[in-house]
Structure 1
């Protein structure tokens, strides 16, 4: 078991790829013991665990990591993920809920079965993870959820995704107020266009170039850009930020 007197503990859902993976690596480098939550790709999760431990070693931080498989919408599986964190590391200080789906469709053409799957992961999944976080986070802890800057951009074909993330924002800001007296912060991070497999999938080079040109900084975000903000919110330096939705998008909106 990791020495909990010197290590804080983070649970990161969606930790096997994209932004979630980068968050797991950053938190490990910052000295956290990290539980890498994942849905199905055991090989990717194990690769993230190895990379997180390498990042911790390179930083001299002494962080460590373990994988934990869980469908975020399954309350028993998510409870098991938190149980694993407590059994291995002694408790949970930070929860980063990065798991999500992003199907693209116009409202008129959306298959409602796809909508149901989207809401199951993005809304129910957020609620299930937030519920465990609310019950188990130690004093001084943080829950960080993920919204999207698409809510401000209002781009066509993002309607279903934006609707699900609007629900995430509402839940996040209310939970921050419900945890009064617990010394636990609850914030949402809302990335803009970010160069992940999830975002780049199905887009041609012209579309990617157009989106990259929109922010005043004239580039796509990177997973490391987002992970830096998450790491700040998870740190003592960020603990006075609470009940906020933070758009991390290079000034696009």
Structure 2
């Protein structure tokens, strides 16, 4: 049976996005703002960087210009106290929390011998532990929302060990985020909390990709595709759509979207698949 779709009007709803100062997080923040939501940007970057533009403050300004209300908070998701305080500030300012987006992430496409323990710890602390901590502190408030959603930007669980063999530490940390998403879905299913994972089929051409992987940038899609998918997820009834590991293109096709060329950074060329895609 097809799930009931709610209105895309999110006025008076409050979302907190970790790591939302640029890229996919920023795009989701702006989409939420255009629907009238209150948006909290909880990220590390508070000062501009000429190589990677965007800070919590510039995104907050964009949110306000797009029609939402913004709160910019400098947060390192490795710091549990900072996460708890950010969620507390969100509730104090906006009166509650309806949506949590676990977007903050560290990347290291390296094998075992090229990934020292310091880097392993960073991946686990930001990706898996940071996601768990945000969920742990957000859930008491989400349980009071009429339509609570947790969205975690992480891949479907693999059927084979391909990516563990290529990028063991990174894969472990990202699949750990998915374990968190599925765990919340099952534990809080009967209490009406939706928890889903979302991952791109193709490379998403963010500023970070442009700087660190310039050869791949033209072969990717605009982060807007992930924001469009996220908004359709948030519009669903939380008690009817949970425990899903979604791929952006497949999900949007199921939702009736047919024009994917519009998302291409360079229309007409072959797209690069994102890593961790089987």
Instruction: Give the TM-score band, short-chain normalised.
Output: 0.7 to 0.9
Kindly state the Cα deviation for residue 139 of structure 1 after the two structures are TM-superposed.
3.4
What's 2:39 paired with? Answer: 34
Q: How far apart, in 2, do the equivalents of 1:112 and 1:151 lie? A: 24
Q: How far apart, in 1, do the equivalents of 2:176 and 2:57 lie? A: 31
1:139 to 1:150, Cα distance in 2 relative to 1, 3 A:
closer
1:51 to 44, 57, 62: 62
Q: How far apart, in 1, do the equivalents of 2:58 and 2:227 lie? A: 18
TM-score under structure 1 normalisation? 0.83
1:19 to 1:109, Cα distance in 2 relative to 1, 3 A:
same
Structure 2: unaligned runs, 5 residues or longer: 1-9, 49-54, 254-272
Q: How far apart, in 1, do the equivalents of 2:86 and 2:59 lie? A: 16
1:101 to 1:6, Cα distance in 2 relative to 1, 3 A:
closer
Q: How far apart, in 1, do the equivalents of 2:224 and 2:118 lie? A: 33
| Two-structure CA RMSD over aligned residues (Å) | 2.5
The yes-or-no answer on 1:197 pairing with 2:207 is yes
2:170 to 158, 161, 168: 161
Q: How far apart, in 2, do the equivalents of 1:160 and 1:39 lie? A: 22
What's 1:248 paired with? Answer: 248
1:105-143 Cα shifts (integer Å, max 9, x gaps): 122221121111111100110110011222210231101
The question of whether the paired residues in 1 share the 8 Å contact of 2:151 and 2:198 is answered with yes
The yes-or-no answer on 1:144 pairing with 2:151 is yes
1:70-118 Cα shifts (integer Å, max 9, x gaps): 1112221111111111111100000111111012212222112111111
What's 1:111 paired with? Answer: 116
Q: How far apart, in 1, do the equivalents of 2:244 and 2:189 lie? A: 15
1:208 to 1:64, Cα distance in 2 relative to 1, 3 A:
closer
TM-score under structure 2 normalisation? 0.76
Structure 1: unaligned runs, 5 residues or longer: 57-62, 213-219
1:143 to 1:150, Cα distance in 2 relative to 1, 3 A:
closer
Q: How far apart, in 2, do the equivalents of 1:123 and 1:224 lie? A: 25
